[in-house]
């Protein structure tokens, strides 16, 4: 197994591992260590059917279902993240961490490329740890005292779900989900602190109005996206990405109108943010 770093703030490719095989505990531990160190790791040229994909997910954690979209018929924890030829809006098309509006957001997200457009469709990733560490000591001291309200009903993210909810929506989905989390999150495994707000879901600070919150949140959202905190990844069929949803944001780039892009996603159970 060979781990090759791809950017300064986060991201690495892992070579020499066949994820369809039954992995030895030492290999799983090495993958987990690389994932925790780099935030997001990528595996090229993987031949994984749904069963093998789910087996790898179980090696790293507990797969959970997504609240708004039905999973595959035999694998409800695997959802299709897709944009079809006639659609203009891509699923989750903004900087965010997955389902921050849940009381226990996922610890990890796994995304497997099935069908790709002839160009475009990259995904950007950003380190919440690097973003937090670059803040002034004064702002850090302010933010560690704050909590934020995260909602599934924020307009931009709701719009990005419309096509999939129309075709694959769950009948038991609630209209909206809301959760309050710390603005600065301490990672339960590494102990690192990360900025834990995102433009897709964070509405306001707890005890503040939306109007009062807007200027500081706007600064934090811009700050998170600074180029030196990010990496950008170009997919190929059979590529799998695994990222730490507790400290990594992502943004799927919507630059391939008229073409089809289909990915399979699994999220792994997490803990309440602390």
Is residue 198 within 8 Å of residue 144, measured between CB atoms? no
Does residue 274 fall inside a structural domain? no
Chain segment 200-233, per-residue pLDDT in tens = 999 999 999 999 999 999 999 999 999 999 999 9
Q: Report yes or no on 175 lying in a domain.
A: yes
Domain count, the chain: 1
Query: Which pLDDT value is given to residue 155?
Result: 62
List the CATH number of the domain containing 75: 3.60.130.10
The one catalytic residue among 192, 201, 264, 265: 265
Active-site residue flag, 156: no
Residue 14 falls inside a structural domain: yes
Active site residue 45: no
98 is catalytic: yes
165 confidence band (pLDDT: 50, 70, 90): confident
The yes-or-no verdict on residue 173 having pLDDT over 90 is: no
Predicted confidence band at 171 (pLDDT cuts at 50, 70, 90)? confident
Q: Tell me if 96 is assigned to some domain.
A: yes
| 86 has catalytic annotation | no
Mean of per-residue pLDDT scores for the chain:
95
Kindly tell me if the per-residue pLDDT of 169 is higher than 90.
no
pLDDT for 167: 82
Residue pair 31/60 in contact (Cβ under 8 Å)? The answer is: yes
Is 214 inside a domain boundary?
yes
Catalytic hit among 161, 204, 250, 264: 250
Enclosing domain of residue 103: 2-266
Answer yes or no: is 215 within a domain. Answer: yes
Predicted pLDDT of residue 1 = 95
Within-domain flag for 272: no
- Of 98, 161, 164, 192, the active-site residue reads 98
DSSP letters, 41-72, are EEE-S----HHHHHHHHHHHS-EE--SSB--B
d(CA 235, CA 233): 6
């Amino acid at each position: 197994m060979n781990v090759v770093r791809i950017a300064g703030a986060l991201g690495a490719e892992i070579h020499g591992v066949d994820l369809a095989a039954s992995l030895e505990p030492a290999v799983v531990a090495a993958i987990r260590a690389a994932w925790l160190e780099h935030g997001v790791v990528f595996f090229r040229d993987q031949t994984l059917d749904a069963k093998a994909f789910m087996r790898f997910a179980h090696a790293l954690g507990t797969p959970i279902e997504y609240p708004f979209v039905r999973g595959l018929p035999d694998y409800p924890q695997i959802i299709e993240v897709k944009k079809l030829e006639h659609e203009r809006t891509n699923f989750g098309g903004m900087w965010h961490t997955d389902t921050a509006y849940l009381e226990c957001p996922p610890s990890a997200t796994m995304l497997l490329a099935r069908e790709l457009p002839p160009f475009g469709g990259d995904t950007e990733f950003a380190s919440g740890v690097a973003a937090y560490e670059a803040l002034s000591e004064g702002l850090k001291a302010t933010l560690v005292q704050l909590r934020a309200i995260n909602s599934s009903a924020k307009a931009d993210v709701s719009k990005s779900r419309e096509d999939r909810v129309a075709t694959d929506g769950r009948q038991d989905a609630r209209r909206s989900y809301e959760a309050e989390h710390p603005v600065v999150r301490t990672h339960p495994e590494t102990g690192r602190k990360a900025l834990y707000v995102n433009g897709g879901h964070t509405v306001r600070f707890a005890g503040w109005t939306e109007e009062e919150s807007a200027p500081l949140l706007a600064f934090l959202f811009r700050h998170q996206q600074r180029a030196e905190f990010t990496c950008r990844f170009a997919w190929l069929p059979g590529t799998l990405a695994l990222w730490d949803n507790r400290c990594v944001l992502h943004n799927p780039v919507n630059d391939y109108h008229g073409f089809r892009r289909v990915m399979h996603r699994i999220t792994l159970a997490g803990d309440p943010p602390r």
